[in-house]
Amino acid sequence: MSDPLDRELIESPPWQPGTRLMAGVLIIVLLVFLLYLLRSLIVTVLLAFIVAYILYPLAAWFTHRTRIPRGLSAFIILLVFLLILLGMTTWLGFAFSDRVVSLAGYLSDIAKQLPGMIEQLPDLRFGIGSFMVDLSQSNLTALLSDIVGSLSPLLAEAGSVIRSIALAAASTVSTSALILVISYYLIADFDKLSPALIRLAPPAYREDMRCLLGEADRIWRAFFRGQLVLGVVIGVSVAILMIAAGLDFPLVMGVIAGILELVPMVGPFVSAVIAAVLALFQPTNIWGLTPLAFSIVIIAIFIVIQQIENTVLVPRVIGENLNLPPLLVFLAILAGGIIGGLVGVLLAAPILATSRLFLGYIYYKVVDLEERPGPVLEPRLPSRRLARFRQRLVAWWQQRRTPKRTEESDT
């Protein structure tokens, strides 16, 4: 026998459009207010989600191979990730601690030498090949005095800033622990997240939601994979080229360039400026150039690296998944820095691409276009070269395993 209350709920009439609108507005207001109250945790939760997003495929693969529960698999993957992170941090600390301390002292010496060098700069004459540059013909005294007043305090504090990084890192232990805990629960239930979001949409729009989530997933995977590859390639390339050019601290410069590569557009520019400043205040070099000429050579090397990256590496590594105008990326980086600090700067590009995806869908629905603005999210097939390489790799692996199986059967 059914409960009368259940019968009343089943026969409950639908809400009127005005009631649904008011309820929707109220829910949005409550969500915005809740986000405002928890704004200090937004960055922590976002970082935890990113860690879970990156590690979930490994946890899913490990669960499939070992048939262990997803929770245990998530714990093992996070433990391995933490051990690798601690090992890399320890190795980098031992490998670069002396160089970082030397760089800090070097920057302090630059701050002391800068005023005298700036005073001599208006009378400087130097040559690059047969081309001579005479700065005494231009009135640079007033401009250079302003530059000295601006740069001297910054360079004087650079050493203390570098030394304070370790102290600042100690205060992030509790935050890191919280990120790992949240990441564990997200990895354990990550496969339920996408179906839950799809069920939130009305039945008629669930296929659209599935396509949108699939495209967003492709955008973020392309971004993380591309930034990792670009960071390693650019870092190694800068280190090798700086060694060849004879710049001091080439390995540190390579690590800095690889890390700053995570910040689109701004990061390569900052790493080039750092290298140019180091070259400008390096007393001698293997090419016998003046400091200013050597600095120009270093800038030219970074320009060549940047051009190769933009024309060759970025289209092949990241592809067209982001495909954002440079001006929009730059404005998004500025807005991300204001809103979310360093995390906002690092994630500005994929957040902008994801926002464009959903806003484009909303625009398509609002203006009632008859056709979609391009294919929504057809998966891109791997290139033929990659497919052939994969087939050869599988064939090679099978050939190596076949003799072993034959020997085992003979014995």
Give Cα separations from 294 to 18, 102, 109, 179, 280 (angstroms).
70, 21, 19, 45, 7
**Residue 381's pLDDT band (boundaries 50, 70, 90)?**
very low
Measure the CA–CA gap between 169 and 280, rounded to whole angstroms. Answer: 31
- Collapsed DSSP state (helix, strand, coil) of residue 282: coil
pLDDT value of position 67:
86
Question: Mean pLDDT over residues 377-406, rounded?
Answer: 58
382: its two tokens:
């791997």
Q: Where are the domains of the chain?
A: 41-200
- CA dihedral angle for residue 142, residue 148, residue 153, residue 156, rounded to 10 degrees: -170
Measure the CA–CA gap between 67 and 60, rounded to whole angstroms. Answer: 10
**Residue 256's pLDDT band (boundaries 50, 70, 90)?**
confident
pLDDT value of position 378:
40
Q: Which of 264, 271, 267, 382 is nearest to 322 (CA)?
A: 264
Cβ-contact 321, 353 below 8 angstroms: yes
Give the rounded distance of the alpha carbon of 387 from its chain centre. 28
Adjacent-strand bridge partners of 126: 133
Measure the CA–CA gap between 39 and 381, rounded to whole angstroms. Answer: 40
Higher pLDDT: 106 or 140? It is: 106
Predicted confidence (pLDDT) per residue in 115-150, tens digit: 666 566 555 555 555 555 555 555 555 555 555 555
- Collapsed DSSP state (helix, strand, coil) of residue 204: helix
Predicted confidence (pLDDT) per residue in 35-74, tens digit: 888 877 888 888 888 889 888 988 888 888 888 888 888 8
Measure the CA–CA gap between 258 and 318, rounded to whole angstroms. Answer: 16
User: Strand 125-128 relative to strand 131-134: parallel, antiparallel, unpaired?
Assistant: antiparallel
